[in-house]
Structure formats: structure tokens, C-alpha cells
Amino acid sequence: MSIPNETEALWHALFDHCEAERTGTFFLACADNKSGQIVLHNGQILGLTYAGANGDGAAEALNRAQGLRFSFTAELIFPLQETLLPEQAQALLSQLGIAEYQRAESPASKPQTEVPRRSVRIYRGRVVQG
């Protein structure tokens, strides 16, 4: 199955925002009037929803979407019905091809330092420090 160029552009933008550890929401819409969101906090995917599906199901639906448009609103954490655990978010990024994208974007390997991650709590669309 070939992925439409618009969806591939979305995944590349998502990978870039994850690597830059950005916080905000991608708003998604396609030609058949389906919509969704991808919510990030410090580069970690909190949730992905599209056309009534969440997580992997939403990613699969997006890979078939035609005429996809998207925008990113920084610092806005859109409330989601279902959130992903950090392991689920990493698995989703792997499934979408972040490793191949990173190799293609930066052929020279650079040393990376491990930064401890804090858990995030969301209440009414806002990050709550715990």
C-alpha cells in the first residue's frame, strides 16, 4: 500500500516536532470531511485520533486518507478521550517509520545524551505539574 504524499508530509512534520521536543496539537482534516488531532508534550505523543479511531487505528486510517491537510498549534494541548502510554507512543512512532526518517535526515550519527523524562498529567487540556 502506498501512502499519499500528504500523509507522508504529516509523518515527517510529526517526526520533526518530536525531535525538537515541541508541545502542541496537530489538527487534521481530509477531503471526505474526517478530522483528528495529534497531541504532543515535549516531543512525546500524548494521543492520536482520526475519524473516530485512536492510536494505531487512527494511524492506519490516516495512511489511507486522501486530500489530507494539517496544521500545528504550538502550546495547545487539545483534550483527548484516550491517551497513549509512553511505550505505546514510541511503538507508534516506530511503526510510522521514525527510524528510517532519522537515518535519511541525518546520515552522520551524532552522540545523543539520555535525558530523563518526567511523566505528564493533563487536566482539562492543561499540563498539571505533579
Amino acid 128: pLDDT: 64
**Neighbour tally for 119: CB within 10 Å:** 8
pLDDT along the chain (130 residues), means of 10: 84 95 96 95 96 94 94 95 92 90 68 55 63
The three cell numbers of residue 69 are 491537510
Q: How far is CA 93 from CA 13, 49, 52, 108, in A?
A: 12, 14, 20, 21
Spatial separation of the C-alpha atoms in residues 91 and 6, rounded to whole Å:
22
Say if residues 73 and 27 touch (Cβ distance below 8 Å).
yes
**Would the pTM of this model clear 0.85, i.e. be above it?**
no
Amino acid 126: pLDDT: 66
Say if residues 103 and 76 touch (Cβ distance below 8 Å).
no
Spatial separation of the C-alpha atoms in residues 101 and 112, rounded to whole Å:
17
Amino acid 105: pLDDT: 75
Residues forming a β-bridge with 54:
49
